[in-house]
Amino acid sequence: ANNFLCNICSSILVIILTVGVLIVCTTIGSTLHLAIILKLHISSNTSLLYLSSHLRFWASC
C-alpha cells in the first residue's frame, strides 16, 4: 500500500512540474512576442497597423 501511495505522489509531482514548465514557457513566449512587437513598433510607424490588427486578433480569441 505504501509503494502505491509513493507512485501516486510521484505522478502528481510530475504533473505539477509539467504544468509549471508549460506555464513558464507560455509566459516567456508571450513576453518575447510582446517585446518583438514593441521593437517593431519603435523602429517603424507602419507596425502600428500590425499592432492594432494583432490586438484585434487577441480580442477575438
- pLDDT digits 0-9 by tens, 1-20: 678 888 888 899 999 999 99
What string of H, E and C letters represents the secondary structure of the chain?
CHHHHHHHHHHHHHHHHHHHHHHHHHHHHHHHHHHHHHHHHHHCCCHHHHHHHHHHHHHHC
Report how far residue 15's alpha carbon sits from residue 31's, in angstroms, rounded to the nearest whole number. 24
What does the mean pLDDT of the chain come to? 80
Does pTM surpass 0.85?
Answer: no
The predicted model gives 42-57 an average pLDDT of 67
